[in-house]
């Protein structure tokens, strides 16, 4: 899997790349399928409910049944919708969500490509999904869908800025935008991980990431109580499934990025635990971040749109800026 994107293109390397890409897609789809299941079980446990129990043993096939139901449902397109943009929007949302995974390293040897601009690559591609959401809302020719799309554009642009700026301090400390090199710079031992010296950036990053994912308490683009499900209200069947799929693929990506940027990637928290394979540590940290996202959805109420925008511009952005200046000052004083 090492540097697959930078090898000379031959029939053999293309076949290997295609095989790894398909395998990764299947793994991500498997994660999405059972992330939904475990989210429902975790939220049920936190709210004193059972969650899925009936379909399959212990309800394990409930999400599979839901996916099959979406695939066989009638694909409807409103008569007055912009047909071409309506069809294109789910693909514009999904494709970047999967493409960002190419820049994330999972172990010291397991990654698609060691991009020198990995952080910039992630930020640029994740922003493209905003276009798909706005197009989906506008092309539906539905005022609620349009409001959901416009809310999403305002929200994602507002929170993309502190999200990227929160990683600037790490880039300054590591001297690189290569995500693999950032992990290598941290090394073994949790006291070396970036979340300690960059604790403010870590908090800003997590909050902005939740907003970027359009998840509770920042799920305003899909506020069912006032927008009847928002930008995808006119979508059905597999096109609706693409929007949901993209949300959970981005959850996979953001959890992996958090693990790599702040939590030491594949490194053990203590040197004496280094005999455990790095992929195990990566998965444990990754699962902890995913659990945190589930926990927030189970416990936090949805905020208002004015609270959401004010918090992004008046709190997160100044904190991210202050963190950059403090990091620069400390680096200058102790270099």
Give the residue carrying structure tokens 């049920």: 44
pLDDT string in tens for the chain (335-residue length) = 555 555 555 766 677 777 877 887 888 888 888 899 999 999 999 989 988 988 888 889 999 899 899 888 888 899 888 989 999 999 999 888 888 888 899 988 878 888 899 999 999 998 888 898 899 989 998 888 888 888 888 888 889 999 999 999 999 999 999 999 999 999 888 899 999 999 999 999 999 999 888 888 888 777 766 667 778 889 988 888 888 888 899 999 999 999 999 999 999 999 889 899 999 999 999 999 999 999 999 998 888 888 889 999 999 999 999 999 999 999 988 87
pLDDT at res. 226 = 67
pLDDT at res. 280 = 94
List helix spans (H) across the chain.
11-46, 62-72, 83-99, 118-139, 143-166, 168-174, 179-186, 199-212, 224-227, 237-262, 278-299, 305-311, 317-333
Half-sphere exposure of 284 (CA within 13 A, CB side): 12
* Spatial separation of the C-alpha atoms in residues 138 and 156, rounded to whole Å: 17
Q: Of how many residues is the chain composed? A: 335
* Spatial separation of the C-alpha atoms in residues 171 and 182, rounded to whole Å: 8
pTM above 0.75, yes or no: yes
């Amino acid at each position: 899997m090492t540097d697959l994107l930078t090898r000379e293109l031959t029939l053999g390397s293309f076949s290997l790349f295609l095989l790894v890409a398909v395998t990764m897609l299947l793994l991500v789809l498997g994660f999405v399928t059972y992330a939904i299941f475990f989210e429902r079980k975790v939220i049920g446990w936190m709210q004193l409910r059972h969650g899925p129990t009936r379909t399959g043993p212990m309800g394990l096939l409930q999400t599979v049944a839901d996916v099959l139901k979406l695939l066989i449902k009638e694909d409807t397109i409103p008569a007055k919708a912009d047909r071409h943009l309506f069809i294109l929007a789910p693909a514009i949302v999904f494709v970047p969500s999967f493409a960002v995974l190419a820049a994330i390293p999972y172990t010291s040897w397991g990654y698609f490509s060691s991009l020198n601009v990995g952080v910039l690559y992630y930020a640029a591609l994740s922003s493209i999904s905003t276009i798909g959401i706005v197009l989906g809302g506008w092309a539906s020719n539905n005022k609620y869908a349009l409001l959901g799309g416009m809310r999403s554009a305002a929200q994602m642009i507002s929170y993309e800025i502190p999200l990227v700026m929160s990683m600037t301090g790490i880039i300054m400390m590591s001297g690189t935008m290569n995500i693999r090199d950032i992990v290598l710079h941290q090394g073994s031992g949790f006291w070396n991980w970036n979340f300690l010296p960059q604790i403010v950036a870590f908090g800003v990053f997590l909050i902005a990431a939740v907003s970027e994912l359009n998840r509770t308490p920042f799920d305003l683009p899909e506020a069912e109580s006032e927008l009847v499900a928002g930008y995808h209200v006119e979508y059905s069947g597999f096109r609706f499934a693409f929007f949901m799929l993209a949300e959970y693929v981005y959850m996979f990506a953001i959890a992996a990025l958090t693990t790599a940027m702040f939590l030491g990637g594949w490194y053990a928290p203590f040197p004496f635990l280094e005999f455990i394979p790095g992929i195990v540590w990566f998965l444990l940290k990754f699962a902890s971040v995913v659990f945190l996202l589930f926990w927030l959805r189970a416990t936090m109420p949805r905020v208002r749109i004015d609270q959401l925008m004010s918090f992004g511009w008046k709190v997160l952005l100044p904190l991210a800026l202050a963190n950059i200046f403090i990091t620069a000052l400390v680096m200058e004083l102790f270099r």
